[in-house]
Amino acid sequence: MSDDRGSAGRVRKILAGPAGDGQRLDNFLLRELKGVPRSRVYRLLRRGEVRVNGGRAKPEYRLAAADLVRLPPLREAAPGVETPTRVPDSLQAVVRDALIHEDQRILAFNKPAGLAVHGGSGLSFGLIEALRALRPDEPLELAHRLDRDTSGCLLVARTRAALREVHALLREGQVEKHYTALVAGRWLLGRKKIDAPVLTHARQGGERMVRVHAEGKQAVSIFDPREHYRDLASLMDVEIHTGRTHQIRVHAAFAGHPVAGDEKYGLREFNARMRDFGLRRMFLHSSVIAFRWAGSKQRVVIKVGLPEDLARVLAGLPRKTVAQD
């Protein structure tokens, strides 16, 4: 409930209520302020113009049902400035077609490469915004994230309780996550566990970079070679025990075998060679997510095969042999 809920030019006070209980403040605002650009919502938070129970709150603050959220007056966009207010039908169709599993607690998607999981960084909409447009009456939240250029398994929670449980399983290392990656060169390390902390920092221009650093957060990846393409490249199964930003890409580069098509951490000459074989994006695909709900004996297993664009690249590579290192 709120006062002046319909007025864009006056202060609004909104009770979080049962629908907002446990939700992040930024996601609550994005839902309440439909049509307001994501960048503007975060600007309001940074400036302290949004208050919770009379005080400032960070975007990641988890609301309680009794919390009272104060919103500042929101003026109309300046003349000539176009503010997107509706998720395009074409994007909604892409997201609808990507759904591969649905039950009472979660939705699972085979996310196409190039589709962001959420708006931001110059994008008005991503998968979650399109999904909320398709299902406006559900409290949908991303259970985890994938890079825009990474394809494959993505989970969305349908309830607050499901979101909390998935996050708990992730923290406890109870979610099995596998990726398929093509890396540079012939991998001669066999099945290799890389336990190397990663640190996120920003370089000039604000571009986010991640590197192995002793002061970073723990990150564990297990690389297992599946096929070699002569000395040019190796196909890998990568299991991650943590979910740090760019973790697989950074660990692959750290091992001396960066991911094919990775413009940030990869090798320029290798990437150019792979373009000759038709690779037009990073060769990284989330292939398996598996876990067991607390108190359940049945595992949830989501599997997604390689998309056609990556399969075509493999078909064109030099003669392959089964990895036996």
Q: What percent of the chain is modeled with pLDDT above 70?
A: 89
Residues pairing with 150 in the sheet: none
CA gap 241, 229 in Å, rounded: 27
* Contact (CB, 8 A) for 246 and 265: yes
| Superfamily for domain range 12-71 | RNA-binding S4 domain (3.10.290.10)
Contact 133, 124 (CB under 8 A): no
d(CA 324, CA 227): 9
CA dist 107 and 158 (Å) reads 7
In CATH terms, the fold of domain 90-157 is Alpha-Beta Plaits (3.30.70)
Q: Using CA atoms of 60, 282, 237, 269 in order, give the dihedral in degrees to the nearest 10.
A: -130
Domain locations in the chain?
A: 12-71, 90-157, 173-322
Q: Which of 241, 235, 228 is nearest to 194 (CA)?
A: 241
DSSP string, 65-85: TT-EEEE---PPPPTT-----
Per-residue confidence (pLDDT) for residue 297, from 0 to 100: 86
pLDDT of 7: 43
CA atoms within 13 A on the CB side of 298: 2
DSSP 186: -
Give residue 226's pLDDT.
96
Tokens of 29: 């605002």
Selection from 68, 155, 74, 70 nearest residue 111 by Cα = 155
Residue 147 annotated to the active site: yes
Q: pTM for the complete prediction?
A: 0.76
Predicted confidence (pLDDT) per residue in 249-273, tens digit: 999 999 999 999 999 999 999 999 9
Burial level of 220, CB count in 10 A (0-12/13-18/19+)?
A: middle
Tens digits of per-residue pLDDT, 138-193? 889 999 999 999 999 999 999 989 999 999 999 899 999 999 999 999 999 999 99
Give CA–CA dist 26/23, Å, rounded: 8
Distance CA 154, CA 117 (A): 9
Report the C-alpha gap between 159 and 309 in whole angstroms.
34
Q: What is the pLDDT of residue 27?
A: 84
Tokens 């500042």 correspond to what residue? 72
Catalytic: which of 21, 89, 103, 147?
A: 147
Q: What is the phi-psi region of residue 228: left when phi exceeds 0, alpha when psi lies from -120 to 50, beta otherwise?
A: beta
pLDDT recorded at residue 83: 46
Residue type for 38, please? R
User: How many residues can be counted in the chain?
Assistant: 325
Residues of the chain with pLDDT under 50: 1-8, 76-83
List phi, psi (to 5°) of 60. Answer: -85, 0
Does the structural domain 173-322 have CATH classification 1.10.287.130?
no
